[in-house]
Structure 1
Amino acid sequence: MNHKKTLFCVSLSTLLFTAPAFSQVLPPPQSAEQTSASETGWWNNLPKEKKALYANAAAVSFVTLYGFADWDYGSAGFSFAHEGWFEKDSKYGGADKAGHFWATFALSDAFTGLYKHWGYDSHPASSYGAFSAWAVQALMELEDGTSKSQGFDWADMTMNTIGALTSVLLERYPDLDRKIDFRVEYAFNTKINGIFDDYSNMYYAVAVKLDGFDALENTWLQWFELQGGYYSRGYDTTELAKERDLYVGVSVNFSKLFRQHDYQKTGKLLEYLQVPYTVPKLHDKLN
């Protein structure tokens, strides 16, 4: 995944999370008998299966058109890439692989919420949502294979698959979901191209939310979380030496804080996006 694709996935996830259809923000959909005449537009009258079909077709069309316009799709014959995993001599030091996991996970959750709002039960919604996100990412990867600067990478597809399956897992086990988040943080460490446009400014983390534990949810610890993460530096710029780091840190649970003040959509987004510079970090540089 290159930088522009990271930006695309962040934007698409944000759009779905903040859309009126996001099921955890709005009340459940009304029955046909409850729907007022003012709400009976052509879209509201569509069955949920057609809504899902059109949503996927729109996403696929947008990816394809945008890819040909800005990602040089179709500029070469189909080829494979071997970018590596998290090795020091891999293309991005593994940050791109963490990005694939996070992006597919976030898209899966977003599609799942959309499908639940349209009337799907939780289990089929999570399965369909994960497949939709995985399909969008798979399409990007296949079309990367026609780009002279990219190429199809099986490692990227592996991380996409793990991200989608993780979304299903957390949807099926709510008690686990209330304990952990997967986040990306952008910090302005070095000037390259802009927000969400370079791995040398990104951190990928797992956040353990203390309010997810019954013994702590009514104590002052409910407002805090523990984080462990990974990042690479210098792989996309000559301004920094190449390095890969693990880190641990403590942060305020901003998602909970915003929800408490009735900013539900912002609280939901902050399960996936970390507020910059809010995690004091202890670093361990890898060889």
Structure 2
Amino acid sequence: MQQTDSDKKYALVIGANGGIGKEVVSQVSAQQRFDTIYTLSRGEAAYNISDFSAHTKLIHKAMDTADEAAVKSFIDELKDNGVKLSLVICTTGILHQEANTQSTPEVVGLKPEKRLEDMHEMQLAEYFRINSILPAIWLQNLVKVVDKQGANLVFFSARVGSISENELGGWYGYRASKAALNMLVKTAAVEYKRRAPNVSLMCYHPGTVDTGLSKPFQANVKPEKLFTPQFTVEQLLSICADLNPEQSPFYLDWKGEAIAW
């Protein structure tokens, strides 16, 4: 029996060129659950499409995933083509910015603050732009193209975004922007329940993963607590398989255990 467009399954990976994003693309493709996976990043694909499953079509688009107009245009294109997304994973996030990157002078050398005096207006704005506003733009637009028969929307968060568990202080911008992300997802879930009741929204804490984001902060991490991208993505996809939309939203760690908001 020939498959119709309405039977096809679609996934979207936002931030597909990052250390975790590339692994998400690889493992989601290997599942062979989706006919098409859309992958987004600021640059061209950092992987060979031919390396992935022959059963899954990969479509990559280079775009600024924090650009509101670009996001709306992309979502409108999906909607016009009848695409309904069953899985969306947003891996984007910023913790630090190397001094040799092509960034604005205000955020060059961005790093977590250790004390109040380290906070800087423009650096705080950059934390919120990437960690909070970018996901908010996607939350706003994705509601138009999620598969209302069932879908999972995942945003990479962090345990330090938990207001309840903050005992150490510091890292003002990163903590606050991830807490804001959590609140945005939690608030959006209320509206998604009305407009797309079979959709699960999740904030995911992947643990400390061996990527460029965590590289400057790995010295004090026990070897058994420094995860590979492969491990944390395996955990994520296993968790996604068991999400119950009636219990949405979720704030879970890599073990599938709930984190206090």
TM band (smaller chain): 0.3 to 0.5
TM-score, with normalisation over the residues of structure 1?
A: 0.31
TM-score, with normalisation over the residues of structure 2?
A: 0.33
Higher helix share: 1
